[in-house]
Amino acid sequence: MVELAFSILAADFTHLADEIARAERGGGTIVHVDVMDGHFVPNITFGPPVVEAVRKVTKLPLDCHLMIENPDEFIPEFARAGADMISVQWEACPHLNRTLQHIADHGVLAGVVINPATPVDFLVEVLPMVHHVLVMSVNPGFGGQKFLPRSVERIAHLRRLRHEMGLNFRIEVDGGVADDTVESVVRAGADMLVAGSAIFAGGKAEENAREFLRIARAATAVSV
């Protein structure tokens, strides 16, 4: 099932609970939380206190995308704050196997993220231990960037690997996913669709989410 993971980075923070409620009414089923530390990426966003606050205003699963250095240090805190899923950047984790195990040990679904310049094949050793793989379709750090077209082939490649290895992790895509790009990523095999600016634009998260999902669900994945 194709799901919308709406990124609250693009929401109106002064009315965050209302924004989340609107995106949920429009069909969004996952809250995507972009955590940035000003080191791994050139931007700072929010940390565990915001996750804890969001946890109180929605029952939807919280998907925490950690764009931070030393994620191991913070995993327990995000887990305590209410994260249901935590994904870490391949590029930030010299001991990725241990980091993913660390996430799972906290009762949280573990994911790995790859930047546009990281080959998909570098993931082979950890694919059996992840719940989801997040393919970045922009360079992380900011919302509202342009979708990188090569991401489509990268998703398709990952989907072929999943098939060949007999696994069933989910494929998530993040960055520049909007009404004009969502069909191509769904056809390639993505089923967790992160979208921020496409959803929260104009304070119309409900309408935007509904239209986004209509387009996404009209597209089906092509066979492997």
Q: Which of 143, 155, 184, 193 binds ligand DX5 (CB under 6 A)?
A: 143
The continuous run of DSSP H or E covering 73 comes out as none
In the complex, least distance from residue 113 CB atom to ligand DX5, rounded to whole angstroms: 8
Question: Is 34 labeled as catalytic in the residue annotation?
Answer: yes
Distance CA 32, CA 5 (A): 5
Q: Which of 29, 58, 118, 197 binds ligand DX5 (CB under 6 A)?
A: 197
Which two three-digit tokens encode residue 49? Answer: 């206190």
| CB closer to Zn ion out of 27 and 140 | 140
The item of ligand DX5, Zn ion, none sharing an interface with residue 141, based on CB under 5 to 8 Å by kind, is: ligand DX5
Q: Interface with ligand DX5 includes 111 (CB under 6 A)?
A: no
| Neighbour-count burial of 159, counting CB atoms closer than 10 A to its CB (0-12 exposed, 13-18 middle, 19+ buried) | buried
Q: Interface with ligand DX5 includes 176 (CB under 6 A)?
A: yes
Which two three-digit tokens encode residue 113? Answer: 């993220």
Q: Interface with ligand DX5 includes 71 (CB under 6 A)?
A: no
* Amino acid found at 133: V
Q: Interface with Zn ion includes 34 (CB under 5 A)?
A: yes
Pair 32, 7: CB distance under 8 Å: yes
Distance CA 133, CA 114 (A): 8
Of all residues in the shown chain, the one whose CB is closest to Zn ion is 65
Q: Which residues bind Zn ion (CB under 5 A)?
A: 34, 65, 174
By annotation, the residues acting in catalysis are: 34, 174
